[in-house]
Structures are given as C-alpha cells and as structure tokens.
A and B are shown apart, each in its own frame.
Chain A
Amino acid sequence: MKFIIAIIKPFKLDSVRDALSEIGIAGLTVTEVKGYGRQKGQTEIYRGAEYSTNMLPKVKLEIAASDDIAAQVVETIQQTANTGAIGDGKIFVLDLASATRIRTGESGETAL
C-alpha cells in the first residue's frame, strides 16, 4: 500500500477529485494549508503600507491506495492539477505499513 500526499492549487481541487473518482479512488482527506516554495509570496498594500506574505494558501490531499493503482493516482493528479505555471505543487509517495477500518476492524487493502 502507498500513502500519497499531494499539495495542489486550491482551485484545482474539484477537477482532481473528479478525476480520482473515475479511476476508482473511493475516499481522500483534504486540508487547507499554507506554505512556500519557488512561487514565493504575494504583496498586500494597505494605504501604502506594504506587507509581503511569504506563505501562500494551498490544498493538501492525502490518499491511501493499493500498490497496483498508486502510480496511476500520481499520474492522474499530476496531469489534472497541472497549469504549467510556477506554484502547481508537489506529490509525495510513502510506503504505508497498515490500514484499519474502524467500523469493522478490517485491515490491509480491504480497509481502503
């Protein structure tokens, strides 16, 4: 099993979710996050007082996937969240040691 973490632009969330549903991903967790990378920050100006915010809002997706579709998930996110502009985000893949469904106690890939 793989645990996939993707940081994407907030406005891409809906299309990424739709694309993942089509390839059979049944659930994911979304968090609103802030961070910075090559895109740097943005400048706010209040009556001439300039504040540069170096943290930008992003959306973090967390998805647990079986080994056979993990590569497809990464590819789908990469293609759907891509705008070609700086600041599109990153995808990280970790090995997942176990998964348990709380309601039934099932574990392993059947819990996904």
Chain B
Amino acid sequence: MKRILSNFAMAATGAALLAAPAFAAPAAAPAPFVPTADMVNKGDVAWMMVSTAFVLLMSVPALALFYGGLVRAKNMLSVLMQVLTIVCVAALVWFGWGYSMAFTSTGTPFPTLFGGLDKAFLKGVSVTSLAATFSNGVYLPELVFVMFQMTFACITPALIVGAFAERVKFTSLIIFVVAWMTLAYFPIAHMVWYWAGPDFLHAAPTDMGLLWGWGALDFAGGTVVHINAGVAGLIGCLIIGPRIGYKKEPMPPHSLVMTMIGASLLWIGWFGFNAGSALESNAFAALAFVNTFVATAAAGAAWAIIEQIAHKKPSLLGGVSGVVAGLVAITPAAGFAHPGTAIILGAVASLVCYFFVTTVKNKLGYDDSLDVFGIHAVGGIVGAIGTGIVADPALGGQGWIDYTAPVAKAGVFDLAGQVTTQIYAVGVTVVWTSVVSAALFLILKYTLGLRPDAEAETNGLDISEHGERAYN
C-alpha cells in the first residue's frame, strides 16, 4: 500500500492553514474532486479480491501449520486454535471499529495518530462508496479495500503467539488481542498507511497519518505488521516467562514436515500480501511480485549456506527460517526495490536473523519460543531501514511519488534523509507497541493471569486448555 509521501507535505502545512479561509469563498475554490464509478477497473477489483484470499491463506492454514510444527505434539492444537480464533476475532473487530480507526481521520482528537468511529460497523460503506489507490483517477470499491486490509489485521496479532507458544492461557490471549489491536495495531496502521489519496492530498495536505507524513516508506507492512507483532511478542515472552524446562530439557519441533508446508504456503500467500499492496493490477504489483520471489529465494539460500559453513549440515528448519526472514524483509521494500537489490536485502536479512536467533537469543536467555522477535522484528527492521536504500532511483529503485501536486509526480530522493526517516518510523513503532504491549500484558498477568498452572503446562495445552489431542 502506501507508496509514498511527500516530504513537502510538512512544509506545506503552514501554508495550507493560512489558505484555509479561502475555501469558504466560492469563487476562489476549485470544484471539489468527486470520484465516480467509471474510475473503477474490473481488473484491479479481480486482482485485489484474489490477493485478499491469498493473505487469509497466510494466517490459516499457513502460519498455523508453520508454528504448529515447531511446538511439541502436546501443544499442537493449542497453536492451531490460537491462530484460528485470533483470525476470527480480528475480522470481527476490524468490522466493528478497526477499519474506522485505521482508515478515517475524522471524529478523533489526534487525526494523525488514529481515526474516530465515523465508519464503525462499516457505517457509510456501501457498494457505491470508493477507496483511493496510488494513481490519480483510479479507485476501488471501498468494500474491496476494507476486506483486503482486514486480512492484514487478522495475521498481525496471530504472528505474536509464537513468542509465548506452549504456555499461555487462551482466554487471556484473546482479550489481549482485542485490546492490542485497538491500542497498537489500528493506530500504527493509521500512522503509516492513512492518507487522503492522490486526488485529495493537494487540497488537504495534512490529512495523513504521522509516519506517512514524515515520508516513511512501507510498501506492504514491515513496520505495521512485522515489527509491530515481533516487538509485542518479545514483550509478551519476557512478561510471561520461559516454558517449564526451558534450556533443561529438549524441546525439538514435533513436525518439521508441517512447518515446511506452512512456510511454503506463507510464501504463496505473501504474493497477495506484497503484490496486492500495490492496490492495482499493474507494473508495480508485478515488481512487488518479482521482488517477493527473488528476495525470498536469496534469503532461503543464504541461511542454508551459512549453516553449511557453520555446522556442515544445512537444515530444513534453517532453510524455511531463511525463507520467512526474506519474506519479512522484502515486505516494506517490495514495490520500491530493483530485483537485484531485493536479492541483496533478502540475503542480508537472512544472515542477520541467523546470527540473532542462534547467538544473540541464546546469550540473552529469553524464551521467544518460535523466534517471532528474532525473525519478524529483526528481519522487519533490516527491511524497513533497507527500504530507504533500495528505493533510491540511483540504485534502480522507484523513489517516492510527490502527491502534493494535483497530478502526482516523482519526488527528489535523498538517500541519507530517507534512511533517517525510516529509522524514525521504526523507532516510533517499537516504542508505541512496546508501551501498549507491556501495559496490557502486565494488567492481564495480575488480573486474569497469563499462564496455565504448572501441571496444565506440563500435560500440554491441548488437553488442559482445549480438551483434545492432535494425534490419537
């Protein structure tokens, strides 16, 4: 989503405020732009609905199987049930107030941080309402945009559960998810992705989320989805504490076969996630598609190579970990990078994540069971900052587009400035989600409790929390 912003927008803010009274004078104001049904392209609609289904595939079954294979057999169903239920609950919350909080800027005291409730329960969203894309005069039915974004809201909280898998109380987790989406996901999605649209921004140059306004580039959700979920996971596993027996008894994955199936389906679904984020069925979607392919391939190969060197045995778990690290890292850069720099970005992210999960995590000793922080947050940060480099037109990137003019045009790219902006955006995301997550986990820990008792945990969450077994 989210191709760009104008660094000029902030400078334009003052001028716009001064000019505001002029809007009251009919003679001075141009006729307001009104999108019409003939600006909707059926090819775009078809592509976006297919992409939407692909992104749902990433949560169920892909993420569920990827995570499920990595836990012990006695906790298999608990992970599947957590992911499935989070997807269901998140979809309902998105319908209820999520879409309105993320993608409107009215009825709120802080329109750059989060939206109000004017579109709660999809009020005013109908078969005739339209949503902007990244091109002047090109629109999607708003229902398509609502649904596409809904799948992102479904997968992000589901990613978190891997950090404290095998030891979380189910009801507390679901309550956490509803609160966390409201206080962390919707505001960050709003800050990074909300803007008035290419036909409106020049007339309303301050109507945008905070980080979009800074000029932060995040094509498909490196900050909103991966850093956000990865950091929340880390906070969660620190507050919940390690599994009973962590580092004392072996906890090998119970089925790397399922993990392989899940990771492969994630890769497929990610084409909808990244290429769909172009919002149109065009060359930018194709660019995101290619980059999602080659960056991931490079990342999977890089992890296998480093394991061949370090252990003389390239493992399947290593290969799929590299694949996921590459997918995460290319997410913010998918529509900006040249495939050549995408390959480098994927390989670098893979090696950084390898070092993090094999060395740094063991030194620090926390139990991020399925490496949600080590792969999603670390890979996401490498990708988010790397996006500021690979987007540079001098390196074959797409640069950013200046939407402050009535017809969008290419902006002037400043590499150092862009990287700095990316770092600021990462910083805001990390701080915001850390504070919200810590507050919510601590409140739940001292009220409902976050962990089942030791006997329930030892017996496995499948029996103790869900009353069934995966394998009979």
> Which A residues lie at the B interface, using CB under 8 A?
44-49, 51, 53
Closest to B313 in A: A45
Contact of B311 among A45, A49, A51, A53 (CB under 8 A): A45
- Whether A48 and B358, one on each chain, are in contact in the complex, defined by CB atoms closer than 8 angstroms, is yes
- Closest Cβ of chain B to A65, distance in Å, is 40
246-291 of chain B: CB within 8 A of chain A: 250-253
CA distance A51 to B249 in the complex (A): 9
Q: How near does chain B come to A46, taking the closest CB pair, in angstroms?
A: 6
| Contact, CB under 8 Å: B361 / A48 | yes
Q: Is B317 an interface residue (CB 8 A)?
A: yes
24 A-B interface contacts by CB (under 8 A): A44-B252, A45-B311, A45-B313, A45-B315, A46-B252, A46-B253, A46-B315, A46-B317, A47-B317, A47-B318, A47-B321, A47-B357, A47-B358, A47-B371, A48-B357, A48-B358, A48-B359, A48-B361, A48-B362, A49-B251, A49-B362, A51-B250, A51-B252, A53-B250
- Shortest distance in angstroms between B80's beta carbon and chain A's nearest beta carbon? 20
CB distance from A3 to the nearest CB of B (A): 36
Chain A proximity of B368: nearest CB distance (Å):
10
Interface residues, chain B, CB within 8 Å of chain A? 250-253, 311, 313, 315, 317-318, 321, 357-359, 361-362, 371
- Bound CA span A49–B253, Å: 11
The prevalent SS among residues of A at the interface is: strand
Chain A residue contacts of B311, Cβ below 8 A:
45
Residues of chain B contacted by A51 (CB below 8 angstroms): 250, 252
Residues of A within 8 A of B357 (CB): 47-48
Q: Contacts of A48 on B, CB cut-off 8 Å? A: 357-359, 361-362
Q: Which residues of B contact A47 (CB under 8 A)?
A: 317-318, 321, 357-358, 371
Give CA–CA (A53, B249) in the complex, Å. Answer: 11
Given A44-B252, A48-B361, 20 more A-B residue pairs with CB atoms under 8 Å apart are: A45-B311, A45-B313, A45-B315, A46-B252, A46-B253, A46-B315, A46-B317, A47-B317, A47-B318, A47-B321, A47-B357, A47-B358, A48-B357, A48-B358, A48-B359, A48-B362, A49-B251, A51-B250, A51-B252, A53-B250
Contacts of B252 in A (CB 8 A): 44, 46, 51
**Nearest 4 CB-CB pairings of A with B:** A48-B358, A51-B250, A47-B357, A46-B317
Chain A nearest CB: distance from B73 CB in Å? 15
What is the CA–CA distance of A18 and B325 in the complex, to the nearest angstrom? 50
Complex alpha-carbon distance, A45 and B252, angstroms: 9
Query: In the complex, which residues of chain A have a beta carbon less than 8 angstroms from the beta carbon of B371?
Result: 47
Which of chain B's residues have a CB closer than 8 A to the CB of A46? 252-253, 315, 317
A48 to B361, CA, bound (A): 9
> How distant is the Cα of A47 from the Cα of B362 in the complex, in angstroms?
10
The residues of B that contact A45 with a CB separation of less than 8 Å are 311, 313, 315
Q: CA A48 – CA B362 in complex, angstroms? A: 8
Distance from A53 Cβ to chain B, minimum over Cβ atoms (Å): 8
Q: How far does the alpha carbon of A47 sit from the alpha carbon of B322 in the complex, in Å?
A: 11
Nearest CB of chain A from residue B358's CB, rounded to whole Å? 3
Closest chain A residue to B355, Cβ basis: A48
- CA–CA, A83 to B325, complex, Å? 43
**Cβ-closest chain A residue relative to B311:** A45
Specify the chain A residue showing the minimal Cβ separation from B360.
A48
* Chain A residues, Cβ within 8 Å of B359: 48
Q: Which A residues touch B318, using CB under 8 A?
A: 47
Give the nearest-CB partner of B353 in chain A. A47
Which residues from A are CB-within-8-Å of B315? 45-46
Kindly provide the distance from the CB of A34 to the nearest chain B CB, expressed in whole angstroms: 14
Which A-chain residue is minimally distant from B375 (CB atoms)?
A: A47
Q: Whose C-beta in chain B lies nearest to the C-beta of A48?
A: B358
Residue of A nearest to B70 (CB): A46
Closest-CB distance, B114 to chain A (whole angstroms) = 36
**A51–B253 alpha-carbon span in the complex (Å):** 11
Question: Complex: how many Å from CA A48 to CA B317?
Answer: 10
Give Cα A47 to B353, complex, Å: 10
Specify which of A44, A47, A48, A51 lies most central, judged by the most chain B CB atoms within 10 Å of its CB. Answer: A47
Residues on B with C-beta less than 8 A from A49 are 251, 362
Most buried by A among B250, B318, B361: B250
In the bound complex, CA of A77 to CA of B398 (Å): 70
Output the least CB separation between B52 and chain A (Å).
Answer: 32
Determine the distance from Cα of A53 to Cα of B315 in the docked complex, in whole angstroms: 17
Q: Which residues of B contact A44 (CB under 8 A)?
A: 252
> Bound complex: CA of A51 vs CA of B357, how far in Å?
16
Complex contacts, B321 vs chain A, CB 8 Å? 47
How far in angstroms is the closest Cβ of chain B from A49?
A: 8
Say how far A52's CB is from chain B's closest CB, in angstroms: 9
Task: Find chain A residues with CB under 8 A from B313 CB.
Answer: 45
Assembled-state Cα–Cα distance A103/B250 (Å)? 47
Which A-chain residue is minimally distant from B370 (CB atoms)? A47
Contacts of B361 in A (CB 8 A): 48
**Complex formed: what's the CA distance from A51 to B250 in Å?**
6
* CB closest residue in chain A, given B371: A47
In the complex, what's the smallest C-beta–C-beta distance from B391 to chain A, in angstroms?
A: 31
Beta-carbon nearest neighbor of A44 in chain B:
B252
Report the separation of the CA atoms of residues A49 and B315 in the bound assembly, to the nearest whole angstrom: 13
- Which B residues lie within 8 Å of A53 (CB)? 250
Give chain A residues whose Cβ lies under 8 Å from the Cβ of B251.
49
Chain A residues within an 8 Å CB radius of B250: 51, 53
B359 to A, closest residue via Cβ = A48
Shortest C-beta distance, A103 to chain B (Å), equals: 35
